[in-house]
Amino acid sequence: MNLFMETGYLDKTTGHTKIYFRGIGMMSVWGCISIAFLFIGMQSAAYGFEPVFARNGMAAGPEPLAVQAGVEMLQQGGNAFDAAAVIGFALAVTYPTAGNLGGGGFMTAWTKDGDPLFLDFRETAPQAAKRDMFLDEKGNLVVGQSTTSLLAAGVSGTVHGLFQIFQKYGTKNREDILAPAIRLAREGFPVSYSLHRSLQANHKYLTRFASTAAVFYPNGKTPAYGSVLKQPDLAWTLSQLSQSGPDAFYQGEIAEKLTRFMEQNGGLITREDLAAYKSKFRPPVIIAYKNYSLIAPGLPSSGGIALAQMLNLLEPLPLQKMGYHSAEYIHSLVEAERLAFADRNYFLGDSDFVEVPVDRLVSDAYLEERRRLIPGWYAGKSEGVSHGNPESHETTHFCVVDREHNVVAVTYTLNGSYGMGGVVAGTGFLLNNEMDDFSAKPGSSNLFGLIQYEANAIAPGKRMLSSMTPLIVLRNGKFAFTVGTPGGPTIITTNLQIFLNMAEWGMNIREAIDARRFHHQWLPDRIQFERFALSPDTLLHLSGRGYTLQQVNSIGCAAGIQTMEDGLLAGYADGRGEGLAAGY
């Protein structure tokens, strides 16, 4: 049954439905009037939920002890870059699902002097990696090899990246930066309920390697909620970094242990791979939307380019008139997401290795052509539907603003929860399974159901395409807010919604983060939505337009900080997690 046929007409300028309720047979005059009031009410949008306020500096992230360590660094006179590095190292101890030394990520920043920055510390494929390394003789994907074996690990960029962050822009020395993480690893920290549950759920996965079991299941048991977890090997690794800097990781004793672990367990990473690793400062993608500018990562993150496309497609639309989370609003965002992900998955890859037509992809002329593909009313179609089955997975995001308004946003990850599950013997840190972010077999789906192609095929030394998008937003050229989240491809659409929640709906950082979310990524061709994101009426309306809808438990786990009109900082860590926003 299609209740909503012929209920809107196509606006020739935008290609979008302009009148939203024309032709709904049962709609009375009173119905229309009450909807008009509803729209007026919703435009002032705030629910009245308060974030955390602070005057001098603030940090927000997924785990309280690490965030507190960052705030203490600010109080001791460190700047946002120092505090971000402190949090990055501390999370490697207290938040092992995603905090890491053995993974990689991105930083965006806005310095007090008004310079936008993007640091790429994404992993690289080892030199021995081959395009078809995850395929059998018949050309089929070998299940699990790109996610759970040692072959899944890319050369980690986290240590190089975190050092760059504070050595280039911070004010403190490496002993100061590493001290909190060393203390947390050596003296231990009380296991949170979520860590306890997560370790319980991942027992089988994490006990495949004796070195991992020894760290996370001391005495063979899952650490109880509230018990103290000490990680002496990790404390040793962090002390090495404190004494000798990143060379300890990429050339010293840690490198030796890592390559030995590789040799013993069928991995590819060599001493040469480690010695060659470099994080890179690259130009960020700057996106203009109304009076906002967004500072987002460029390749090898797809986030900046995809957001630029989506926001260009959405900017001319009367989003506020549509009504928050109305069927028309969802339709508009979803169709923009569909087009952007189709381009992402086909064109984007590491631009040090492949030609990516970035300028064209974000040009007005090209996006005008793309806009014409958006159907006015019915759901668009993504050809060749295929269903990936996203497993539970984790990445993490944190951000810091200091009293001088240096703004630092970092998203980093092991990819899946606990990466490929192997702790490098004698070091206490886990290895990533980021090789799965390449298109292991162009055209087939990865851990996140993403179908990707040649531009993101495996090659030695190449960085795998990412969705991680630490975001900084300026309003009229001044810092307005920063936000980011884990969630694989949903990172991009979560950031899009949080941005619109603030820019179009006037929500504060807490309201914008807590609001329910939805997601579309071209293929599989379905809208995923969080429980309670859409009313039954809206669901009916959307399925009437031809959308396939799938309810999921939750999407992302964001953290963000905004400036208020009076200059106070306001922060929030997503209610979907157990994080913290704190300041002084």
Helix extents (H) in 253-404:
253-265, 271-276, 303-314, 319-322, 327-347, 358-361, 364-371
For tokens 């851990």, name the residue: 447
Say how many residues make up the chain. Answer: 584
Quick one: 348 or 473, whose CB is closer to ligand DON?
A: 348
Among 487, 558, 409, residue whose Cα is nearest residue 83:
409
Minimum distance of ligand DON from residue 411's CB (angstroms): 8
Within 8 A by CB and 6+ apart from 98, the residues are 62, 91, 394, 395, 396, 412, 413, 414, 417, 486
Minimum distance of ligand DON from residue 556's CB (angstroms): 7
Stretch that binds ligand DON, among 25-33, 164-172, 366-374, 390-398 (CB under 6 A): 390-398
Amino acid in position 470: P
Alpha-carbon distance values, 236 to 32, 159, 230, 233, 399 (Å): 67, 15, 12, 5, 27
One residue of 123, 343, 394, 525 binding ligand DON per CB under 6 A? 394
Q: Is the dihedral of CA 15, 16, 22, 26 positive or negative?
A: positive
Minimum distance of ligand DON from residue 538's CB (angstroms): 26
Quick one: 287 or 435, whose CB is closer to ligand DON?
A: 435
Contact 572, 35 (CB under 8 A): no
Quick one: 502 or 557, whose CB is closer to ligand DON?
A: 557
Minimum distance of ligand DON from residue 54's CB (angstroms): 28
Give backbone dihedrals phi and psi of 135, rounded to 5 degrees, phi first: -110, 150
Contact 406, 79 (CB under 8 A): yes
Q: Which residues are catalytic?
A: 395
DSSP codes of every residue in 35-94? HHHHHHHHHT-------EEESS-EEEES-HHHHHHHHHHHHTT--HHHHHHHHHHHHHHH
Contact 420, 153 (CB under 8 A): yes
Minimum distance of ligand DON from residue 423's CB (angstroms): 19
Separation of CA 29 from chain center: 45
The residue count for binding ligand DON (CB under 6 A) is 14
Minimum distance of ligand DON from residue 442's CB (angstroms): 17
| The pair of three-digit structure tokens given for residue 431, joined into one six-digit string | 């290895």
One residue of 338, 344, 370, 393 binding ligand DON per CB under 6 A? 393
Quick one: 242 or 415, whose CB is closer to ligand DON?
A: 415
* 504 near ligand DON, judged by CB under 6 A: no
One residue of 413, 445, 482, 494 binding ligand DON per CB under 6 A? 413
| 384 φψ region: left (φ > 0), alpha (ψ -120 to 50), beta (else) | left
Neighbours of 55 (CB within 10 A): 12
Q: Alpha-carbon distance 523 to 451, whole Å?
A: 7
Stretch that binds ligand DON, among 145-153, 338-346, 388-396, 547-555 (CB under 6 A): 388-396
Among 402, 413, 534, residue whose Cα is nearest residue 485:
413
Stretch that binds ligand DON, among 145-153, 170-178, 229-237, 482-490 (CB under 6 A): 482-490
**Scanning residues 437 to 456, which ones bind ligand DON (CB under 6 A)?**
437
Q: What is the contact mask toward ligand DON in residues 155 to 194, using x (rule: CB under 6 A)?
A: ----------------------------------------
* 415 near ligand DON, judged by CB under 6 A: yes
One residue of 422, 486, 577, 579 binding ligand DON per CB under 6 A? 486
| Helix %, strand %, coil % of the chain (to 5) | 40, 20, 45
Quick one: 257 or 344, whose CB is closer to ligand DON?
A: 344
**Scanning residues 455 to 474, which ones bind ligand DON (CB under 6 A)?**
466-468
Minimum distance of ligand DON from residue 150's CB (angstroms): 17
* 395 near ligand DON, judged by CB under 6 A: yes
Quick one: 156 or 538, whose CB is closer to ligand DON?
A: 156
One residue of 99, 102, 422, 487 binding ligand DON per CB under 6 A? 487
* 519 near ligand DON, judged by CB under 6 A: no
Minimum distance of ligand DON from residue 417's CB (angstroms): 8
Cβ neighbourhood burial of 280 (10 Å; 0-12, 13-18, 19+)? middle
Quick one: 335 or 434, whose CB is closer to ligand DON?
A: 434
Quick one: 51 or 487, whose CB is closer to ligand DON?
A: 487
Which residues in this chain contact ligand DON in the complex, by CB under 6 A? 393-395, 413, 415, 434, 437, 466-468, 486-488, 491
